[in-house]
Amino acid sequence: MKVKDMALISIVAALYIAITFVLAPISFGMFQFRISEMLNVLMKYKRKYIYAMIIGVALANFNSPIGLIDVAFGVACAIVMGAVYQVVKNTTVATIINGIAVGILIGIMLHVFYGAPLILSMISVGVTQCITLGIGQVIFKELAKHESLKSLFE
């Protein structure tokens, strides 16, 4: 792997961690709206961003009240989302699939470890995941059009 790739992976992972920490009150817990999840859309553009998201999610989730459990579930979600973004060519469809998958996985985690209502947790996380991924989709689609940033997306 090139030094430039490692630097990009580190920067994206650090952004994920920073956004998650700054917005920690809404990033963790029974009901969450994790704005940093918009960065997952980058996995659609380049496979190397999967590493960035796995690292970012793992390190950010160590700050979670349930620690390693959240790390395990979060990394599993990042891997699933990376696979979906690589296989499903339509970004909107991939975003919806990822929202549903994350809603199910994190909904189960919140139910088991926080006692949150299962269906409500799944729906809540799934909807907020689709919203944040949708925001990311719009932002990164626009950024990818700029000549000076194209190398980050192609």
More confident residue, 32 or 108: 108
Distance from C-alpha of 45 to C-alpha of 73, rounded to nearest angstrom: 24
- Banded pLDDT at 143 (limits 50, 70, 90): very high
CA distances from 140 to 11, 36, 137, 143 (A): 16, 13, 5, 5
Distance from C-alpha of 18 to C-alpha of 23, rounded to nearest angstrom: 8
Q: What is the DSSP letter of 34?
A: -
Distance from C-alpha of 37 to C-alpha of 133, rounded to nearest angstrom: 6
Q: What is the CATH number of domain 3-153?
A: 1.10.1760
Q: Which two tokens stand for residue 110?
A: 């919140």
- Banded pLDDT at 124 (limits 50, 70, 90): very high
130: CB partners within 8 A, 6+ apart:
95, 96, 99
Q: What pLDDT does residue 61 have?
A: 97
What is the rounded average pLDDT for all residues in the chain? 95
Q: Could you give the percent of the chain with pLDDT greater than 70?
A: 100
Distance from C-alpha of 59 to C-alpha of 42, rounded to nearest angstrom: 18
pLDDT per position as a tens digit, 24-64? 999 998 788 999 999 999 999 999 999 999 999 999 999 99
Evaluate if residue 133 carries a pLDDT over 90: yes
